[in-house]
Amino acid sequence: MSVSTAAAAQSVCAPLPVLGRDVTVPLVTGGEVAYAALDYAASAPALQRVWDDVAAYAPYYGSVHRGAGYLSQLSTDLFENARRTVAEFLDCRPDDQLVFTRSTTDSLNLLARALPADCQVFVFETEHHASLLPWQDARVTYLNAPRTPRQAVETLERALADRDPYGPALVCVTGASNVTGELWPVRELAAAAHAHGARIVLDAAQLAPHHPVSVQDLDVDWVAFSGHKLYAPFGSGVLAGRADWLQAAEPYLAGGGASRKVTRREDGGVAVEWHESAARHEAGSPNVIGAYSIASACKALTEAGFDTLVARERQLIDAVRAGLAEVPEVRVLSLFGDDAPRVGVISFVVEGWNSSHFAAALSAEYGIGVRDGLFCAHPLVRTLLGSDPQSQGECGAPEAAPGEKSLNAIRVSFGAGTPDEHVERFVTAVRELVTDGAKWSYRTEDGRCVPAV
């Protein structure tokens, strides 16, 4: 292998630089260790590229839209260029509208507010609460958890076939589960929705950081995701897709920026003419730094190449799954089975351990940050754990309802910024905890399992 070829191979395997990679944390057993951030599914660390771009812009920060000053005009250009960059990242259609929001949750609540009258909504019980709960004011059909991708399509087809064919309908589906990491058959579900006269929105919160998302290729009507899961933690999200329902709906928030013209009426009230552009649902001062950070992350991921990122992540997934498979007490949670394609999100339970206790030991004794609980996907986790959850341990689960303290799981998640060493340390830690037990004692404090002092 030539020097240039070897360097290229090394760069392909290297994680993307993220903030926090040099942060050390104390261990209850003494000393410090570099923190292993393995909770990407909740919030991914900021890419160094994103941080540098934001820092370079920060001195030029100004109000967005309508300002006559140079910094205002520069910030407005930056904001609108960010909109175009993200639309390109998502491969939006020419007439699609892209609205900057606060998060995936905010995006889907915005779409829920824009539903036409008497719209029927179809959503699987396996969704994250962000895509499960916003539709409560509509006619909602909750679909049971499928056990194969084919069953998911068939379940949706049956439900749509039984609906009123003359009214509007919307299907909401995740691209990748925030619990199991499994990829959903989005393209096939979109085809089923359109065949029955329905539209479809894709919750891409867990998909976009790991795989390319093409609105046109997947043939979805809308896509929603969050910046903080895409290595851009500055409080911004995206809803992109068909403009007609958004233009016909009352503004999500009423206020400056959403209004084009406001006049007094003769009866003493005010008459408002709302924008028809994305500004209609972006009232208030836009989060230009949040939008810019998302655009920066989109550029960084595109330049790194998703083929390379996906290939490396598969290696990490295989390493974690192989390591967990060597511990008989560990049960990995899955809807679609071991062979299902997935992103770097894996949930599991350990026989004889309460999951909160196990996660606390990973943090306190190994410097590893994971997630425990029900992951804002309570119906799905309850389905996966079944009627015989693990035995209750020393510490309770903060998300569980009274009487269900043992009903919780552990989630490890990773991505483009995860070093190999973090995954290796995690696998070793699981094996040691199961074999030797925790080195420290733990107690419950304010619903959390913490080291006893």
Assigned token pair, 230: 């895409």
How large is the angle between the packed helices 288-304 and 70-89, nearest 10 degrees? 40
Residue type, position 75, single letter = S
Going edge to edge, which strands form the sheet with 409-413?
330-332, 345-350, 409-413, 371-373
Residue type, position 377, single letter = A
- Measure the CA–CA gap between 192 and 202, rounded to whole angstroms: 14
- Measure the CA–CA gap between 173 and 218, rounded to whole angstroms: 12
Query: How many Cβ atoms from other residues are within 10 Å of residue 55's Cβ?
Result: 9
Is 232 strand, coil or helix? coil
Q: Is 449 a catalytic residue?
A: no
The residues, any chain, with a CB within 8 Å of residue 235's CB and separated by 6 or more, are 102, 103, 227, 228, 287, 290
> Using H for helix, E for strand and C for coil, what is the string for 387-449?
CCCCCCCCCCCCCCCCCCCCCCEEEEECCCCCCHHHHHHHHHHHHHHHHHCCCCCEEEECCEE
Go through 335-363 and write b for each residue having 16 or more CB atoms within 10 A of its CB, e for each that does not. Answer: bbeeebebbbbbbbbbeebbbbbbbbbbb
Q: Exactly one of 119, 172, 376, 449 is catalytic; which is it?
A: 376
- Measure the CA–CA gap between 302 and 34, rounded to whole angstroms: 29
Is 153 strand, coil or helix? helix
- Looking at residue 178, what DSSP letter applies? T
- Measure the CA–CA gap between 108 and 202, rounded to whole angstroms: 10
Catalytic residue ranges = 376
